[in-house]
Amino acid sequence: MKIGERLRELREKRNLSQGEIEEKTGLLRCYISRVENGHTVPGVETLGKLARALEIPVYKLFRNSEEPVTLSSSLERKNGNEWGSKGKEARLLAQFSRLFGNMKKDDLKLLFHMARKLAKKEKAGGREARSIPQRHAGLG
């Protein structure tokens, strides 16, 4: 399902007009229409605004299922908590999300390419992978 179709479905399910979404989000009605009709794809921050207006978690914009999304076990800590769910990790993850949402597509591709190269280099060197907060404690 395309994001625009899903947004329209959720909006109509809640009996909200595009005008009401405009009032709740500050996004122009014509922009909301363009998203719903598949003429434009909203960024991360815009998806957050739309989810808040619809009073749903963001993941429901991408899934029909009522089951919450879980991260892969490779991101989970030994104690069962998901990485980025609390404290400094959650703040760092939120910061990454905001920054990535403001980046151009080509810059994101470059960033992910570099991250893959660094991860391969780390793995090839036989060093044990360390968590992001430990390696980047100076970020903030």
Q: Give per-residue pLDDT as tens, 20-75.
A: 999 999 999 999 999 999 999 888 889 999 999 999 888 888 877 666 656 554 44
Is 34 within a domain? yes
- More reliable by pLDDT, 62 or 131: 62
Is 54 within a domain? yes
| Domain harbouring 36, CATH code | 1.10.260.40
Is 116 within a domain? no
HEC string for 11-30: HHHCCCCHHHHHHHHCCCHH
pLDDT on residue 115? 83
Q: What share of the chain is helix, strand, coil (3-state, %, to 5)?
A: 60, 0, 40
Domain count, the chain: 1
pLDDT on residue 68? 60
Per the structure, the complete domain to which residue 11 belongs is given by 3-61
Is 134 within a domain? no
Is 131 within a domain? no
Q: Give per-residue pLDDT as tens, 70-104.
A: 655 444 444 555 666 677 887 887 787 778 777 78
Is 9 within a domain? yes
pLDDT on residue 138? 46
